[in-house]
Chain A
Amino acid sequence: MSSRRSYWWGLTALVFVYALWPVAWIISLSLKRPEDLTDGRFIPRSVSWDNYRSIFESDQFLYALRNSVGIALISTVVAVTLATFAAYAIARLEFPGKSVVLGGALAVAMFPQISVISPIFDIWRRIGLYDTWLGLILPYMTFTLPLAIWTLSAFFREIPWSLEQAAQADGATPFQAFRKVIVPLAAPGVFTAAILVFIFAWNDFLFAISLTSTDRARTVPAAIAFFTGNSQFEQPTGAIAAAAVVVTIPVVVAVLVFQRRVVSGLTSGAVKG
C-alpha cells in the first residue's frame, strides 16, 4: 500500500513541477541582478529587489497598473450586475425569446474576438472611445457576459422556489422577492461569476493592444509588451519579469483562495451528462 501511495505522490509532484516551473522561473528572473540575467541559471546567484524598485518608480508601469485595476473592477461589477438580471429572468421567469438569449450568449462565447477588432477600432475612433477605459470595459463585459449568465442561471436554478413564492404570498413584488430573498442566496454564485469576469478582464491582451495607444488606458499586459530598456541595446528583461510577477500575484492569489468557486464556475453548464 505504501508503494502505491508513493506512486501517487510521484505523479502529484510531477504535475506540481509541470504546472509551476514557468512561474518559478519568471520570479527567479525578476530577482536576478542585471549582470546575472544572462547566466542562464534557474536559481538566481543572489537576490536583488532592484527590478521591482525600478518598475515602481516608472510612471509607465504605475499608470498601467491603475488602468488594469480600474478597468477590470468596473467591468466585473457591471458585467456581473447585468448577468444577474438576465440569469434571474432565464432561471425563474417564463417569457418568449428565452432560448434566443441563451443561444445568442453561447454564440458570443464562441465568437472570434479578432473579428470585431477592425470594426470596433474604427467605431471607437469615430465616437471617441478609442484609448479610453470605457473602450475596453465594453468588450470585456461583452465577452464575459455569456459565462457569467450560465454560471448564475445554474446557481439560480438550485435555489428553492418556495422561498420566493412565500415572499410573494406575503405581498412582496417580484422585484422585492428577487432583491431580498434571491440575492442573498445567490451571493456565492455571483461571487464565482465575478472572479471569472475579473480574470478575463485582467488577462486580456488583444483588445488592450488594439484599442489603446497611451498611458491613458493601456493595461499592464499591453504595457509589458511595449516596455523598452534604458537604451536600445539593453533588453529590459529584469523589469519585464518584475512587472509580470506583480500582475500575476492578484490572479494567482484569487484563484488559489477561491479555487472551489473557480472550478465550479468553469464547469457549470459546460458539461451536463
Chain B
Amino acid sequence: MTVATGKVSHARTDAAARRRPTTDRTRAERRLGWLLVAPATIVMLAVTAYPIGYAIWLSLHRADLRFPDDTELIGLGNYGDVLTSDLWWTDLLTTLFITVVSVAIELVIGMALAVLMHRALVGRGVVRTSILVPYGIVSVVGALAWQFAFTPGVGFVNQWLESDTAWLSSRGTSLAVIIATEVWKTTPFIALLLLAGLATVPHNLTEAAKVDGATAWQAFTRVTLPNMRNAIIVAVLFRTLDAFRVFDTIYIQTRGANDTESVSILGYNQLINRLNLGIGSAVSVLIFVCVVLIAVGFVKGLGVTISQGRTR
C-alpha cells in the first residue's frame, strides 16, 4: 500500500484535474485503483474464466478418470455424443419447463406480495419478515421439508387429502412438487426486487390516472406496470438464469428419477457417478452456452440495461 503515498500534499480540486492523465496524482490514483481491484478480479478469473477455458479444452478430449491413460484429442466427438442423445434433450426440455413455469408463477405471486407490502395498511413488517425465511433457509432443508410433506406415510399431505398418492414416483406429480418448492423458496427474491421497483413509480402518476377515471386495476396495469418495466425484466432475468441452474431441489427430492432430471443433474452425474470428464465438460460448456443465449436474448430482445446505475 505504499505506492500511493508519494504526492498527496495538495487535495484534489476539481474533476478536470482528475481527467488529466499526466499528473503524478492521477497516476498514483490509477495504480491504487488497479491494486485494490486486483485481488477480487484475480480470484473471480481464477475460479470462473480459467476453469471454463479448461472445460472447453477437456470437452474436446476423451477424458475418463477410470481410464486416465486413454486421454486423447477427439475434437467435437463429445458434443456429438451429447447432442445426439435423447437424455440431453429430455433434460433440457425438463429444465426449460421447470424454468418457465416456476418463473411465471413466481412473477405473479411475487407481484402480489410486493403490492401487499407496498400498500398494506397493517402487517407490512410481518409480511416482509415471514417471506425472508424461505429466502434465507438452506435450500436442502426447504427441499427436504417439501419432500417429507409429500412422502406417503410420513407426510401430512396424503393424510389431509385422504389419498395414498406416491407424489415423487411419477413425472407429473414430481415436477409439480419440485416447482412448488422452487416457487416457495425463490418468490421472496422476486417480491423484494419488485417492491423496490414499485417504490420508484411516482405516487402522483397513479393518482392522476384515478382522477381521470381509471379503476385501481387499470391504474395498476396501464400506469404502474409500464413504469416499473425495467425492474420486472431484471427480476425475471436473474430468476430465469437462476432457475435454469436448478439442482438442489431435484437432487434431494428425486435424484432425477422419472425423467425429472435437469441439465445440471446430468452434468453432475456424468462427472461424479461416471467420472467422465470429457462428456461432463461438454455438458458444462453447453449449459454455459444456454445461459449466455438466455442472457443475450433478454438484453437484445427487451433492451434491458442491467448495469444502469452501477457504473458512475
Contact = CB atoms under 8 A, between A and B. Distances in A.
B308 interface: yes
Given A102-B311, A121-B271, A19 B30 contact: no
B5 A175 contact: yes
Contacts of A141: 43, 47
Interface in A73-102: 82-83, 85-86, 88-91, 93-99, 101-102
A8 B122 contact: yes
Contact of A262 (B11, B55, B132): B132
B132 A86 contact: no
Contact of A38 (B136, B153, B281): B153
B4 interface: yes
Given A15-B116, A40-B155, A104-B44, A255 B271 contact: no
A47 interface: no
Most buried by B among A93, A120, A145, A210: A93
A258 to B, nearest CB: 10
Interface in A16-54: 16, 18-20, 22-23, 25-26, 29, 37-38, 40-42
A110 B291 contact: yes
B33 A145 contact: no
Nearest to A206: B247
Nearest to A161: B12
A198 to B, nearest CB: 10
Contacts of A221: 138-141
Interface string B1-35: 10011001101100000110000001011101110
Interface residues of B, number: 112
Contacts of B247: 114, 205-206
B52 A251 contact: no
B277 interface: yes
Given A94-B26, A101-B37, A115 B285 contact: yes
B121 interface: yes
Contacts of B268: 114, 117, 206, 210
A145 B43 contact: yes
Main SS at interface, chain B: helix
A169 B47 CA distance: 40
Contacts of A41: 156, 159
B224 interface: no
Interface string B168-195: 0000000000000000100011001101
B268 to A, nearest CB: 7
Interface in A196-211: 199, 202-203, 205-206, 209-210
Q: Of residues B126, B277, B310, which shows the largest number of chain A Cβ atoms within 10 Å of its Cβ?
A: B310
Interface in A235-261: 237, 240-241, 244, 247-248, 251-252, 254-256, 259
A103 B307 contact: yes
A88 B312 CA distance: 12
Given A25-B156, A104-B44, A199 B136 contact: yes
A22 B46 CA distance: 38
Interface string B116-155: 1000111100111111111111111110111011000111
Contacts of B139: 203, 205, 221
A224 B12 CA distance: 56
Chain A residues touching B, majority SS: helix
Contacts of B259: none
Contacts of B18: 94
B4 A142 contact: no
Interface stretch (B82-90, B100-108, B207-215, B230-238): B230-238
B129 A112 contact: no
A130 interface: no
A108 B139 CA distance: 21
A16 to B, nearest CB: 5
A80 to B, nearest CB: 11
B252 interface: yes
B295 interface: yes
Given A15-B126, A115-B55, A153-B310, 10 more contacts: A15-B127, A96-B30, A106-B310, A110-B291, A114-B245, A116-B55, A118-B281, A205-B247, A240-B144, A251-B136
What 9 A-B pairs come out closest when comparing CB atoms? Answer: A272-B309, A95-B33, A12-B123, A40-B159, A22-B145, A255-B136, A89-B36, A142-B47, A119-B51
28 contacts: A9-B123, A19-B131, A29-B154, A38-B153, A40-B158, A41-B156, A41-B159, A86-B36, A89-B34, A89-B36, A105-B44, A110-B295, A112-B287, A114-B245, A118-B58, A118-B281, A118-B284, A121-B271, A171-B9, A175-B5, A203-B137, A224-B140, A241-B148, A248-B141, A256-B132, A269-B310, A271-B193, A271-B197
